[in-house]
Chains A and B, each alone.
Chain A
Amino acid sequence: MLPKINAPFVEKVLVRFVRDELGKCGCRKGLLGLSGGLDSAVCAALAVRALGPKRVHALIMPYGGSFPQDVRDAVALARRLGIRHDTIDISPQIDLYFAADPKASRVRRGNKMARERMAVLYDHSAREGSFILGTSNKTELLIGYGTIHGDMACAVNPMGDLYKTQVRELARHLRIPPAIRRKAPTAGLWPGQTDEDEIGLTYEELDEILCGLVEGRLSRREIVAAGHAPAAVDRVLKRIKASEFKRRMPPIAKLSPRSVGHDFLYPYDWGK
């Protein structure tokens, strides 16, 4: 069973979250990378509702001309939302780097691009005193379908407790244009890549399995009994386990009685 959401209430909670998190730091400006895909579109729409269009800045960061339709969709959405947007082509830095290593795999190239976009966002964040809004959803976070220190990097993440199928529901409520809602989700690491091909499951099935494991606390046996292919469930379980490192700070070797990451424990909102 897919987890349903009451989209207007989710919007209310997330809008307060964005406003509150930035407000605690005395910051009123939000910054995000706009890919032309669904997650960043929803995040931008939430940011506009939380902060107002004048306080949201979108960076569109294509690698050369490789995804022209996504760039057009991103620009159109930014215009529709009335937010400031800049397009920055990251191909010069990427090409320069890989000129010395032309045999690099497309996964390495894709990860490098994700981290380049992260670096550009953090530099703009420092320049403008704005907060980077994360766009990773719960499905991606759970199966580790993201680049650590790349698209997963952010100051606050309003999207991280929504499964992909719930993001779609929220997108309909937020009136994200059909051109964005209907396209096949892609990490955009290389042309033709789609999430569902790469993961080997539709997001509906993936979210059903994840929701059973995480929300329902069901065992592997119970998920299979509910009608999911054993191989699919195993693949999902393997991905969850293998990506825990992406969801955590790295372990620190403990030496002293009180160590960062072990027993020096303060709220994230400490002193804000």
Chain B
Amino acid sequence: MNIALAQIAPKLGDVAANFEMHTDILEQARKKKADLVVFPELGLTGYTLKDLVEEVAFDPRADRRFGRLVARTKGLSAVFGFVEESPSEKGLFYNAAAFVADGRIVHVHRKVFLPTNGLFEEAKFFAQGREFRAFDAPFGRVGLLICRDFLHYGASYVHYASGADAIVCVSAAPGRGVGGGDAFETGRMWELMGEALSYFSTAFVVYANRVGIEDGVTFAGGSFVFAPGGRLVGRAAAVDPDLLVCPVDLGAVGRARRNWLFKRDEKPEVIWRSLERIVRATED
């Protein structure tokens, strides 16, 4: 199958323009024979929203524009990032990503870890998600993460433990550090962690970051796909927009797990009991 990394520069706060951009890129990816198209975190809204959060939010199951975009995924899968406000939780806004396949919403993940330090202020404006749950996509089992979720390694462990073939992270990671090569130094961190995770999880690791500039902050790009066992399948441009199609062989997951028996020998119940003890001790 082909995984397309849609490394776009969304227009901040202009949802109509971003729907148009997503529709265009989706069609371009379809022409390039993509089976899965991954758009970045908050791609439909832009990232540095602050009080605009409430203006750009929508319910993915009721919003007409989103419905039209979902309808365009006939025959393929896509991940879209947006601000979710559900009818049952009015006034609560989630930094969310929907996995959509063949014209229907399969899963919506709400970002659990909201960075709120330094230049980040997500928890000021978003409610936090409370769950990591892998799900079945047409091509295999998928676990979704949003940006900072990826940097908390318990999050990807949950997807690993639930048998994910692919851990997909959508991101709006700003670039920091210019003392390195022809990319921001922080991009190295993401790639190194993605590579390591592809060994730990014996799964595909898909990372779709954005580009563009908001309020002086340049988003770093450098989206990538790792096959199980640290094999780099593709890396998108640093800083510039890109639509990179990565051919992947999902059979690699089974092969990797026959070579490296981490998954067979995993003991989630031991991890769980140990964690439970730690959490109980913290609560006492």
Contact = CB atoms under 8 A, between A and B. Distances in A.
Interface of A: 3-6, 8-10, 12-13, 16-17, 20-21, 156, 264-272
B178 A6 contact: yes
Contact of A5 (B48, B175, B178, B214): B178
Contacts of A272: 12
Contact of A269 (B51, B175, B214): B214
B12 A269 contact: yes
B179 A16 contact: no
Nearest to A3: B179
The 3 closest A-B pairs by CB, nearest first: A265-B50, A267-B48, A268-B215
A20 B182 contact: no
Contacts of A264: 51
Contacts of A8: 182
A20 B239 CA distance: 13
B179 A5 contact: yes
Nearest to B124: A265
B215 A266 contact: no
A8 B141 CA distance: 42
Contacts of B181: 6, 9
A6 B52 CA distance: 35
Most buried by A among B49, B183, B215, B216: B216
Given A6-B180, A266-B51, A269-B12, A16 B216 contact: no
B49 A4 contact: no
A16 B239 contact: yes
A17 B178 contact: no
Interface of B: 12-13, 48-52, 124, 175, 178-183, 212-216, 218, 239
B52 to A, nearest CB: 6
A266 B218 contact: no
B50 A266 contact: yes
Nearest to B185: A6
Most buried by A among B124, B179, B239: B179
A20 B216 CA distance: 10
B241 to A, nearest CB: 11
Contact of B12 (A5, A6, A13, A267): A267
B51 A12 contact: no
7 contacts: A6-B180, A9-B183, A12-B239, A266-B51, A266-B52, A267-B215, A268-B215
A260 B82 CA distance: 27
Contacts of B183: 9
A34 B274 CA distance: 65
A21 B13 CA distance: 16
Nearest to A162: B178
Contact of A13 (B48, B50, B175): B175
Contacts of A4: 179
A62 B181 CA distance: 40
B188 to A, nearest CB: 13
Nearest to A160: B216
B216 A17 contact: yes
B126 to A, nearest CB: 13
